Chain A
Amino acid sequence: MIEVKDVCYTYEAGTAMAVNAIDHITTTIPDGQFIGLIGHTGSGKSTFVQMLNGLIKCSSGQILYNGEDINAENYNRRQLRSHVGLVFQYPEHQLFETDILTDVMFGPKNLGLSEEECRSRAEQALYAVGFKERHFTQSPFDLSGGQKRRAAIAGVLAMKPEVLILDEPTAGLDPMGRDSILDLVSELNRTRNITIVLVSHSMEDVARYVDRIMVMNDGHFILDGPPTDIFVQVDKLEEVGLSAPEITYVLRKLKARGLDIDTNALTYEEAAEEILRHRSQLEALRTRE
């Protein structure tokens, strides 16, 4: 469990360029939850997630991991980073080894594990993200964009994190690559009970996977709750340059036309079902017009 208590962070403190990236945030991330962290570019989401594993030290406030202050003098932050895994934006840019397996072993090796343990962890992680054994000796630079990203995610997974934070894991991927990454993350959450924090600026991405959405703007959370509660407040989302998923708009329009419909559907399947359930009303509406 991660507890964030009244945390602030200021970039370029003390100069004319000082910016409050994080502004008095207090929140709790319980174990096993799948969280979508949404916000416009520059809203502070990347800064926030880097604070969670101690890469950025907060200017004020406290961050507790399982009850311990991670910014304390003698806290082992390297150990923390194996528990709270962070996959950066465009993680494929961090690949550097001659073959995929060695690259994925980099993380476990840094934890001081034995060669065999590193290898077995790396193999497991690579299988988990959908690689076959024949890929292991390939150079990471010969892979496709989506594959590179999955290899990079495996690099963090091999450290067996309890919390996995992904910063815009789908940026720049085609729809298929995007879905496969999101399905993978969702599966990790369900089968291994890993807490997931998925950073994104697209509601479509997160709507159908997450348990909870946190909406960030100007360094603090403006909305926090289950997806259905968030999407109801379309106006507030649009105010900060975000939008609800397309289907929410469709359902809302139908409702405005006089259809007695539930607008809380999160996936296309649910929405289709909901619309089909009101087929007779829809027909009536059409004949009336």
Chain B
Amino acid sequence: MKEITLGQYYQTDSVLHRLDPRVKLIGTFCYIISLFIVNSWPGYVAAGIFLAVMILLSHVPFSYIVRGMKAIAFILTVTVLFNLFMTPGEPLVSFWKLTVTREGLSFAVKMAVRLVFLIIGSSLMTLTTTPTQLTNAMEDLMKPLKKLHVPVHEIAMMMSIALRFIPILMEETDKIQKAQMARGADFESKSIIQRVKSMVPILVPLFISAFRRANDLAMAMEARCYHGGEGRTRMKPLIYQRRDRIAYGVLAAFFCLCLSLRLLKF
């Protein structure tokens, strides 16, 4: 369980860490869109350079980011293989019933690059932003929806609680798993049915503990007079600084570059 580092906040001090979370949220959104706008190699190179600069700025060790990628290696491989073999076109190599086409190869590689950039890009946001900051930013950006009677604050609060509980429940799972292993439970068995069955001694205690924690939390919040978003103020209100405006400028420039690469058909 401990190996899942994909997008877990990495504590250090960098420009990216200090940036306003709203900028990072919008920035990541823009980056993802631009990844789907570009469809040529110069575009991918531009996206790659942009990402590399961001990683350098973030002070997060590259090895730490790559380690997180292991979790999605399987999905990535499957996607690449499907694209490689299922795309019709000019055959390049063929063996048994499978044929690799020129189009398939180019498509598969592009898809892989796109996916890797997408995942690193979005995990870079969560690596440099605490979940609290992130939900604060969301609440702020969704504020206009309040006019439509969308419970923005409540949604943000639920999100931050959900995010907060992920590491707690992971730790709990780890603890319960160890406790059952101490009672001789076997989680390394080969057969799938056995593996599914062996999950019961973990899931039942986990659910019970999740409900217990939720109850405790609700009680603790009520004890401190929590009553929703009405009239609630922030300890650290989000205010744009000079660096945030500069970041918006850089983002806009990158987005325009991607757009023009697409429109000029480079």
Known contacts being A16-B12, A96-B200, A96-B205, is A82 close to B184, with CB within 8 Å? yes
Q: For residue B154, which residues in chain A have a CB less than 8 angstroms away from its CB? A: none
Residues 181-222 of B, flagged 1 when their CB comes within 8 A of A and 0 if not, give: 111111000000000000011001100110000000000000
Nearest B residue to A50 via CB reads B178
Which secondary structure dominates where chain B touches chain A? helix
Tell me the residues in window 1-32 of chain A with beta carbons closer than 8 Å to chain B beta carbons: 15-16
Residues 93-132 of A, flagged 1 when their CB comes within 8 A of B and 0 if not, give: 1111000000000110011000000000000000000000
Nearest A residue to B181 via CB reads A55
Nearest B residue to A86 via CB reads B182
Known contacts being A15-B64, A96-B200, A96-B205, is A81 close to B184, with CB within 8 Å? yes
Q: Does B32 sit at the interface, judged by CB under 8 A? A: no
Whether the pair A107, B200 counts as a contact (CB closer than 8 A) is no
List 5 A–B pairs whose Cβ atoms lie within 8 Å, in order of A's numbering.
A82-B184, A96-B201, A106-B183, A107-B183, A156-B183
Q: For residue B204, which residues in chain A have a CB less than 8 angstroms away from its CB? A: 96
Whether the pair A94, B12 counts as a contact (CB closer than 8 A) is no
Whether the pair B64, A94 counts as a contact (CB closer than 8 A) is no
Known contacts being A15-B64, A96-B204, is A111 close to B178, with CB within 8 Å? no
Q: For residue B184, which residues in chain A have a CB less than 8 angstroms away from its CB? A: 78, 81-82, 106-107, 110-111, 159
Tell me the residues in window 49-102 of chain A with beta carbons closer than 8 Å to chain B beta carbons: 50, 53, 55, 78, 81-82, 85-88, 91, 93-96
Q: For residue B182, which residues in chain A have a CB less than 8 angstroms away from its CB? A: 53, 55, 81, 85-88, 156
Whether the pair B179, A91 counts as a contact (CB closer than 8 A) is yes
Whether the pair A94, B186 counts as a contact (CB closer than 8 A) is no
State the Cβ distance, B95 to closest chain A Cβ, in Å.
38
Whether the pair B183, A155 counts as a contact (CB closer than 8 A) is yes
State the Cβ distance, B118 to closest chain A Cβ, in Å.
25
Q: For residue B178, which residues in chain A have a CB less than 8 angstroms away from its CB? A: 50, 55, 88
Whether the pair A141, B186 counts as a contact (CB closer than 8 A) is no
State the Cβ distance, A71 to closest chain B Cβ, in Å.
15
Q: Does B40 sit at the interface, judged by CB under 8 A? A: no
Q: For residue A111, which residues in chain B have a CB less than 8 angstroms away from its CB? A: 184
Q: Which B residues have a C-beta under 8 Å from some C-beta of A?
A: 11-12, 64, 175-176, 178-186, 200-201, 204-205, 208-209
State the Cβ distance, B128 to closest chain A Cβ, in Å.
15
State the Cβ distance, B36 to closest chain A Cβ, in Å.
33
Nearest B residue to A112 via CB reads B184
Q: For residue A78, which residues in chain B have a CB less than 8 angstroms away from its CB? A: 184, 186
Q: Which A residues have a C-beta under 8 Å from some C-beta of B?
A: 15-16, 50, 53, 55, 78, 81-82, 85-88, 91, 93-96, 106-107, 110-111, 141, 155-156, 159
Complex Cα–Cα for A254 and B95 (A): 92
17 new A-B contacts at CB < 8 Å, known A55-B182, A94-B180: A16-B11, A50-B178, A78-B186, A82-B184, A88-B175, A88-B182, A93-B175, A93-B176, A93-B208, A94-B179, A96-B200, A96-B201, A106-B184, A107-B183, A107-B184, A110-B185, A141-B208
Whether the pair B181, A81 counts as a contact (CB closer than 8 A) is yes
State the Cβ distance, A107 to closest chain B Cβ, in Å.
4
Complex Cα–Cα for A36 and B208 (A): 32
Q: For residue A91, which residues in chain B have a CB less than 8 angstroms away from its CB? A: 179
Nearest B residue to A53 via CB reads B182
State the Cβ distance, A155 to closest chain B Cβ, in Å.
6
Whether the pair A94, B181 counts as a contact (CB closer than 8 A) is no
State the Cβ distance, A281 to closest chain B Cβ, in Å.
52
Complex Cα–Cα for A15 and B178 (A): 24
Complex Cα–Cα for A55 and B11 (A): 29
Q: For residue B208, which residues in chain A have a CB less than 8 angstroms away from its CB? A: 93, 141
Complex Cα–Cα for A91 and B182 (A): 11
Report which of B11, B185, B209 forms a contact with A93, defined as CB distance below 8 A: B209
Max chain A Cβ within 10 angstroms of own Cβ: one of B11, B184, B186, B200: B184
Kindly list the 7 A-B residue pairs having the minimum CB-CB distance in the complex, ordered from nearest.
A110-B184, A96-B204, A94-B179, A107-B183, A86-B182, A88-B179, A96-B201
Whether the pair A93, B183 counts as a contact (CB closer than 8 A) is no
Complex Cα–Cα for A106 and B185 (A): 8
State the Cβ distance, B194 to closest chain A Cβ, in Å.
12
State the Cβ distance, A13 to closest chain B Cβ, in Å.
11
Max chain B Cβ within 10 angstroms of own Cβ: one of A85, A91, A94, A156: A94
Report which of B11, B200, B205 forms a contact with A94, defined as CB distance below 8 A: B205
State the Cβ distance, A12 to closest chain B Cβ, in Å.
8
Q: For residue B176, which residues in chain A have a CB less than 8 angstroms away from its CB? A: 93-94
Q: For residue A81, which residues in chain B have a CB less than 8 angstroms away from its CB? A: 181-184
Complex Cα–Cα for A243 and B178 (A): 31
Complex Cα–Cα for A111 and B185 (A): 9
Complex Cα–Cα for A81 and B181 (A): 8
Q: For residue A93, which residues in chain B have a CB less than 8 angstroms away from its CB? A: 175-176, 179, 205, 208-209
Nearest B residue to A161 via CB reads B182
Nearest A residue to B172 via CB reads A93
